[in-house]
Amino acid sequence: MIYSTGFFVLFLQKFREESIDGTTLPLLTEDHLTMHLGMKLGPALKLRSTMARRIGHCAVCMHCVHCHGEDNTDSRRHESSRSPTVSK
């Protein structure tokens, strides 16, 4: 377990209030966790990273077809998550 029992108890009630279950939990973004559920950014990132690792998903995109399609190479993965470059 990453967090103390008190941490989970605090957010368990919020998850119940928002009807967040095992199906919707992996869909939560950092914005959902911080802005709507009141988590601090560090714990929100740790929670998402741990969930992704445990269910076998990429922490960046949760294995979307865009990044992990058969025709994509490793060099193109997560291209959309990088900062755009400005050409002159």
pLDDT reported for residue 31: 92
Residue 86 lies in a domain: no
Residue 67 lies in a domain: no
Domain of 16 in residue numbering reads as 2-55
Q: Give me the number of domains the chain comprises.
A: 1
Whether the full predicted model's pTM is greater than 0.85, yes or no, is no
Q: Residue 18 pLDDT more than 90?
A: yes
**Closest-CA residue to 7 (of 35, 62, 36, 47):** 47
- Full DSSP string of 2-45: -S-HHHHHHHHHHHHHTT--TTTGGG--HHIIIIIT---HHHHH
Q: Residue 26 pLDDT more than 60?
A: yes
Residue 12 lies in a domain: yes
